[in-house]
Structure 1
């Protein structure tokens, strides 16, 4: 069931990408990869909770690869598919060998940057806005609204400092 939901969401996102890509062309903002660092964890977020004023995220850390690094890892792990396709599909590759969930506390002043989400309850309102800042309250609402697209199907880059998430960046996937 989870695979069907993921597939359906990815198909909707792909279709919306075709529809909304024209709006992204000619804007000052373009997709840029999130820089890797020792304090950044990339993960799929399974839940987000506010417990007694403390926001926590349960997430499954993954390995995220883009560009040449994605091609290399794809070639290492899926040689036959690499030979057939010539590289990683859509220029990214995810490795998730350990699906253990980790709990992260979110700093009350954490910054959140979204790429795509349901802005107004309509498919037309699902637009790509690169690195659109949203408040933590809005982020919680976005994550808990899966009527048109399930935001838990996107990876997120979590910047962690002093044991707390200080920045959440949604990773767009075509």
Structure 2
């Protein structure tokens, strides 16, 4: 099964928010640096038990720029549309979830989230650091679907997540 995201995850949120709430200075955007320990994923579950937090994540392929256009053409083969909408493209041909422990001192950087309890007040704050506890708390029943719709870059070392970076989605 292949999941594709075309500016789509924020579509529901955008419909509910004033336009100025989702407009950002895209010129400040910097792609997340990939290392051998980094994987790009969708988070499919977060669970805390026995004092430990576990994140279940499904690896995806995230493309930007010309690489996104090339991946789009390979997967979509649509003669009327030859470039990835919004400059990015996601491929998830195989659902293969893995569960990792989230380190209590993990570095977590978010781009966009419901920090006040009202999505209408949400705004983009590039690489805003939040605590591991705050990150986990954002996956409430009412916000979980939106938070899980963003791609995340996880840095995993020795089986534990030591860094989480929410991917900005234009």
Q: TM-score, normalised by structure 2?
A: 0.84
2: distance between equivalents of 1:107 and 1:49? 13
Paired residues, number? 164
1:53 equivalent in structure 2: 51
1: distance between equivalents of 2:105 and 2:61? 26
Alpha carbon RMSD of aligned pairs, Å? 2.6
1:142 equivalent in structure 2: 138
Alignment deviations for residues 95-139 of structure 1 (CA, whole Å, 9 cap, x no partner)? 101112110111121000001011112233211111100001100
Q: How does 1:22-41 map to 2 (within 5 A)?
A: 24-25=24-25, 30-41=28-39
Once the two structures are TM-superposed, the CA of residue 14 in structure 1 deviates from its matched residue by 4.0
Once the two structures are TM-superposed, the CA of residue 148 in structure 1 deviates from its matched residue by 9.1
Q: Specify which of 105, 111, 115 is matched with residue 109 of structure 1.
A: 105
Once the two structures are TM-superposed, the CA of residue 18 in structure 1 deviates from its matched residue by 3.6
> Aligned pair in 2 of structure 1 residues 25, 171: CA closer, same or farther (>3 Å)?
closer
Unpaired segments ≥5 residues, structure 1:
none
Once the two structures are TM-superposed, the CA of residue 146 in structure 1 deviates from its matched residue by 2.7
Q: Secondary structure at the match of 1:112?
A: strand
2:11 equivalent in structure 1: 11
Unpaired segments ≥5 residues, structure 2:
none
1: distance between equivalents of 2:110 and 2:46? 16
1: distance between equivalents of 2:121 and 2:144? 10
> Aligned pair in 2 of structure 1 residues 21, 118: CA closer, same or farther (>3 Å)?
closer
Once the two structures are TM-superposed, the CA of residue 161 in structure 1 deviates from its matched residue by 1.5
> Aligned pair in 2 of structure 1 residues 118, 148: CA closer, same or farther (>3 Å)?
farther
Q: TM-score, normalised by structure 1?
A: 0.83
Q: Secondary structure at the match of 1:150?
A: helix
